[in-house]
Amino acid sequence: MLPDLMNLLRNVVGTEHVLSGETAAPYCIDWRGRYSGQALAVVLPGDTQQVAAVVALCAEHRIAIVPQGGNTSLSGGSVPLPQGQQIVLNLSRMNKIYALDTVNYTLTVEAGCTLAKVREAAEQANRLFPLGLTAIAAQCEIGGNISTNAGGIGVLRYGNMRDLVLGLEVVLPDGRIWDGLRSLRKDNTGYDLKHLFIGAEGTLGIITAAVLKLFPRPQSVATACVAVRDPEVAVKLLAHLRANCGDKISAFEIISRSCLDLVLEHIPDTVEPFVTRYEWMVLIELSDVLQAP
Ligand SMILES: Cc1cc2nc3c(=O)[nH]c(=O)nc-3n(C[C@H](O)[C@H](O)[C@H](O)COP(=O)(O)OP(=O)(O)OC[C@H]3O[C@@H](n4cnc5c(N)ncnc54)[C@H](O)[C@@H]3O)c2cc1C
């Protein structure tokens, strides 16, 4: 039955997009090499219809699917088990930008678009997509960001990925396509089913496309690194800033001594920010759509 399935998968996505053996290996291990497994095959669909057909085939043959985006999530969810009885469904080929609406401030993309590509597209239109995962933006993909409800440094002002999604397209476990690609902001009709899929790590379906919210691009940015006595003082400082700067606070990240020591030890050209070695520091960013005077 399995050789049959392999041929059926090849018929759907094309022979060159069904990988096995050595070519499949890089998709079966996580970034740090902490989790690794084996897949029956790694399948790289080119569009939503192909995802739907692959999912329907796997449902019929009772084969489990591990959806995979950029494989950056470090917790094993995007890597197959060692028994080699699952397929990896990698969405990286599905990286089209469908539409950018500067009037409605929305961007409609396929799930395999990298975060960097999305941020760049927004920037070129003088808009901002605020999910801030700079270290991995070139690798992680919108489908993965949505499936992990990613946060990053912009959460205080813009919210988690859940707050940045207006609509979704999802392939359900039996291969049906759920079309929820809506860009209406004031949408108060019935249940908001998209939220079931956000943060679900592929357990309820495979996200194939999304409508994302864009924001005005900040024209002025100010950053500060502030040493504080302890986290309690940091929280009070945040409350004080909120009272005085409102939602101009675009990042507020606490940094512990042990964390900074690791950075100084392992990342070249980094330096102690203060003459004194403080135990706790806060990195603050304020930004505004107005130009600085
Ligand atoms: C250096 C570093 C810093 C980070 N910092 C932060 C941070 O500050 N805040 C934060 O919230 N996160 C952080 N993360 C985690 C980050 O949010 C995830 O790594 C990223 O969002 C996952 O995207 P991906 O495309 O690589 O997904 P993958 O790693 O490929 O997949 C993640 C999960 O989603 C599932 N999945 C992937 N694509 C789909 C899809 N299309 N449909 C359904 N399921 C899917 C996978 O099966 C898996 O369970 C960080 C990670 C790294 C490596």
Instruction: Looking at the structure, tell me whether residues 210 and 232 fall in a common domain.
Output: no
pLDDT in tens, 70-119: 999 999 999 999 999 999 999 999 999 999 999 999 999 999 999 999 99
Instruction: Looking at the structure, tell me whether residues 139 and 185 fall in a common domain.
Output: yes
Instruction: Looking at the structure, tell me whether residues 141 and 193 fall in a common domain.
Output: yes
Last residue of a domain, one of 170, 195, 216: 216
Instruction: Looking at the structure, tell me whether residues 66 and 164 fall in a common domain.
Output: no
| 293 in a structural domain | no
Q: What b/e string do you get for 245-257 counting C-beta neighbours within 10 Å, with b at 16 or more?
A: eeebbbbbebbee
What CATH number does the domain containing 230 carry? 3.30.70.2190
Q: Across residues 233-249, what is the average pLDDT? A: 96
Cα separation, 83 vs 182, in Å, equals: 39
Q: Across residues 188-215, what is the average pLDDT? A: 96
Output the pLDDT for position 71: 96
Instruction: Looking at the structure, tell me whether residues 158 and 110 fall in a common domain.
Output: yes
In 3D, which of 143, 116, 114, 161 has the Cα closest to residue 51? 143
* Predicted confidence (pLDDT) at residue 30 exceeds the cutoff of 60: yes
- Asked if 118 and 100 touch (Cβ cutoff 8 Å), the reply is no
3-state DSSP of the chain:
CHHHHHHHHHHHHCHHHEECHHHCHHHHECCCCCCECCEEEEECCCCHHHHHHHHHHHHHCCCEEEEECCCCCCCCCCCCCCCCCEEEEECCCCCCEEEEECCCCEEEEECCCEHHHHHHHHHHCCEECCCECHHHCCCCEHHHHHHCCCCECCHHHHCCHHHHEEEEEEECCCCCEEEECCCCCCCCCCCCCHHHHCCCCCCCCEEEEEEEECEECCCEEEEEEEEECCHHHHHHHHHHHHHHHHHHEEEEEEEEHHHHHHHHHHCCCCCCCCCCCCCEEEEEEEEECCCCC
| 235 in a structural domain | yes
Instruction: Looking at the structure, tell me whether residues 235 and 208 fall in a common domain.
Output: no
Closest-CA residue, ligand 1 atom 16, reads 73
Output the pLDDT for position 4: 86
Q: What is the pTM of this model?
A: 0.95
Residue 123 CB neighbour total at 10 angstroms: 12
| 210 in a structural domain | yes
Average pLDDT, the chain: 95
Instruction: Looking at the structure, tell me whether residues 52 and 162 fall in a common domain.
Output: no
Instruction: Looking at the structure, tell me whether residues 127 and 205 fall in a common domain.
Output: yes
- Asked if 28 and 39 touch (Cβ cutoff 8 Å), the reply is yes
Instruction: Look up the domain containing 42 and give its range.
Output: 2-90
- Asked if 156 and 144 touch (Cβ cutoff 8 Å), the reply is no
68 lines ligand 1 (CB under 6 A): yes
- Asked if 143 and 208 touch (Cβ cutoff 8 Å), the reply is yes
What's the gap in Å between 148 CA and the centre of ligand 1?
5
Output the pLDDT for position 281: 97
What's the gap in Å between 134 CA and the centre of ligand 1?
13
Instruction: Looking at the structure, tell me whether residues 202 and 233 fall in a common domain.
Output: no
Instruction: Looking at the structure, tell me whether residues 207 and 229 fall in a common domain.
Output: no
78 lines ligand 1 (CB under 6 A): yes
| 137 in a structural domain | yes
What CATH number does the domain containing 72 carry? 3.30.43.10
What CATH number does the domain containing 172 carry? 3.30.465.10
Residue 73 CB neighbour total at 10 angstroms: 21
48 lines ligand 1 (CB under 6 A): no
Last residue of a domain, one of 177, 194, 216: 216
What's the gap in Å between 69 CA and the centre of ligand 1?
8
167 lines ligand 1 (CB under 6 A): no
| 17 in a structural domain | yes
Instruction: Looking at the structure, tell me whether residues 270 and 196 fall in a common domain.
Output: no
Closest-CA residue, ligand 1 atom 43, reads 202
Instruction: Looking at the structure, tell me whether residues 231 and 200 fall in a common domain.
Output: no
Reported confidence tier of residue 31, pLDDT bands at 50, 70, 90: confident
Q: Across residues 49-71, what is the average pLDDT? A: 97
Last residue of a domain, one of 38, 66, 90: 90
In 3D, which of 92, 94, 131 has the Cα closest to residue 110? 94
151 lines ligand 1 (CB under 6 A): yes
What's the gap in Å between 85 CA and the centre of ligand 1?
23
pLDDT in tens, 124-163: 999 999 998 988 999 999 999 999 999 999 999 999 999 9
Please name the residues in contact with 2: beta carbons below 8 A apart, sequence gap of 6 or more.
Answer: 40, 61
70 lines ligand 1 (CB under 6 A): yes
* Predicted confidence (pLDDT) at residue 1 exceeds the cutoff of 60: no
Output the pLDDT for position 286: 96
287 lines ligand 1 (CB under 6 A): no
What's the gap in Å between 144 CA and the centre of ligand 1?
5
Number of domains in the chain: 3
